[in-house]
Amino acid sequence: MPTPIIEIKNMSKSYELGGETVKALQDVCFTINKGDFVSIIGPSGSGKSTFMNMIGCLDKPDTGEYLLDGKEVEKMKDNELAAIRNIKIGFIFQNFNLLAKLTALENVELPLVYRGVSVKERKEVANACLEKVGLNDRMNHLPSQLSGGQQQRVAIARALAGNPPVLLADEPTGALDSKTSKEVLQMLKNLNEKGQTIILITHDLEVAKEATRVVRIHDGQLFENGGDWIESERINEDGYTQYQNQ
């Protein structure tokens, strides 16, 4: 019996954009179990980013329920959300979002700094995380002295440093060439094999396919069987119309 780590029920979110109300999410229900490697795929403007912000506790839904690792998140205050982000979620961004003035090691330490971990302990943890991504020989380099792939690996190490139950990767390969993309994806796969829950958000079918479960988001609605849609033999079918007809 798999344990659900994320449970989303009837989540809706809309916002005003140029005087028009955009329904970014409509009644989304979604469950992710521990150890899942889920990719969420969707074109730009589909509500993908909004959904990611919701999962990442960066934003609060208008209505609906969100249980993250057994905690009700949707009614939390800003400060509680900050703590949740710190403990429960490891972010990996498209453009790495490392702090340019800090070394690789210090970047990895950052989540622990905000958690109030002692200097010695967090150095050890950060070192271990950099070792996991194979970069402990570069721990005193600034991000500007690292290649894109290395920077993303540092970002992964930073996401792992807090030992969060969920890794949330937003287009992690978007700014990388295909070779380093593969490396980074392989790394995520390896992590998943060791039991790490990973949510991968992308618009790239090839990347999404690497996950064990693919969901598609479109016009603010979530479709579970996105994986079928991107099966290569059915790539020319009009998946959207099919889902409309289902």
Mark 71-110 with x for binding to another protein (rule: CB under 8 A) and - for no binding.
-------xx--xx-xxx---x-x---xxx-x--------x
CB nearer to another protein: pick between 86 and 150: 86
For CA atoms 202, 231, 209, 53, the dihedral sign is positive
SS3 of 11, please? Answer: strand
3-state secondary structure 135-158: CHHHCCCCHHHCCHHHHHHHHHHH
CB nearer to another protein: pick between 52 and 214: 52
Q: How far is the CB of 177 from another protein (least distance, A)?
A: 22
Site for another protein in 104-163 (CB under 8 A): 110-111, 113-116, 158, 162
Determine, following the binding rule CB under 8 A, whether residue 16 of this chain makes contact with another protein. Answer: no
CB nearer to another protein: pick between 199 and 214: 199
Site for another protein in 33-72 (CB under 8 A): 53, 56, 58-59
For residues 114, 60, 159, 205, the Cα torsion angle rounded to the nearest 10 degrees is: -170
Which helix or strand (DSSP H or E) is residue 92 part of?
strand 89-92
Q: Nearest Cα to 47, choosing from 33, 31, 34, 59? A: 59
Site for another protein in 179-238 (CB under 8 A): none
SS3 of 100, please? Answer: coil
- The site that binds another protein (CB under 8 A) totals a number of residues, namely 25
The count of C-alpha atoms lying within 13 angstroms of the C-alpha of 45, restricted to the half-sphere facing its C-beta, is 2
Q: How far is the CB of 111 from another protein (least distance, A)?
A: 5
CB nearer to another protein: pick between 60 and 209: 60
Q: How far is the CB of 49 from another protein (least distance, A)?
A: 8
CB nearer to another protein: pick between 79 and 246: 79
> Could you write out the DSSP letters of every residue in 190-244?
HHHHTT-EEEEEES-HHHHHTSSEEEEEETTEEESTHHHHT-GGGTTS-HHHHHH
CB nearer to another protein: pick between 83 and 230: 83
Residues found near another protein in the complex (CB under 8 A): 53, 56, 58-59, 78-79, 82-83, 85-87, 91, 93, 97-99, 101, 110-111, 113-116, 158, 162
